[in-house]
């Protein structure tokens, strides 16, 4: 996998400096759109000096997916959504659209060892799967019945799914 040259990307801090220079009377509001204890999705709204909404941005982070996300994944997510919202605004960005923080994440993911479909489901897959199950309002029994019916097996539980099985179940739950 290719690694990206991070020097071509701005930091969110650089974008914030430009934002406050351009909009000293503006404001940025962040809000959580999804939180389940392991994954957070946040939205930032950027308002200009006339208090008019001029851009938004979203970000998603998962607990433990990087060193910083072991202690500060919500804060990291907030910073990312602010960077995206500023990038989406009329003052945009210099260089590439994504922030250097976002591209560090891409480099980290591209460097992570890949598992085949027969390996165990990753903790991230299990956490996401549990989040989707909770979102449907299902209890453990309903989730297990769905998994057995979907995979046409009766000898697995959530924690024994393979990576490939977890992907199938996640895709099914998203529908």
In tens, the pLDDT along 37-54 reads 889 999 999 999 999 999
Question: How far apart (Å, rounded) are the C-alpha atoms in residues 90 and 73?
Answer: 28
pLDDT digits (tens, 9 = 90+) for 89-132: 998 765 544 554 555 555 555 554 444 455 788 888 888 888 88
Longest Cα separation, the chain: 61
pTM above 0.85, yes or no: no
The residue ranges of every structural domain in the chain are 6-111, 123-174
Token duo for residue 84: 């995206």
| Dist. CA 77–CA 107, nearest whole Å | 17
């Amino acid at each position: 996998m290719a690694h990206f040259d991070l020097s071509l990307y701005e930091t969110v801090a650089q974008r914030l400096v430009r934002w406050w220079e351009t909009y000293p009377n503006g404001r940025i509001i962040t809000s959580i759109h999804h939180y389940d204890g392991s994954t957070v999705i946040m939205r930032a709204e950027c308002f200009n000096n006339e208090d008019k909404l001029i851009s938004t941005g979203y970000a998603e982070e998962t607990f433990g997916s990087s060193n910083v996300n072991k202690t500060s994944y919500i804060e990291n997510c907030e910073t990312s959504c602010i960077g995206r919202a500023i990038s989406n605004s009329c003052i945009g960005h210099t260089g590439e659209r994504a922030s250097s923080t976002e591209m560090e994440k891409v480099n980290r993911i591209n460097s992570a060892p890949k598992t085949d479909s027969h390996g165990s489901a990753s903790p991230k897959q299990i956490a996401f799967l549990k989040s989707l199950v909770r979102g449907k309002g299902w209890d453990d029994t309903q989730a297990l019945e769905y998994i057995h019916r979907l995979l046409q097996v009766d000898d697995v539980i959530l924690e024994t799914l393979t990576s490939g099985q977890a992907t199938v179940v996640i895709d099914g739950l998203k529908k």
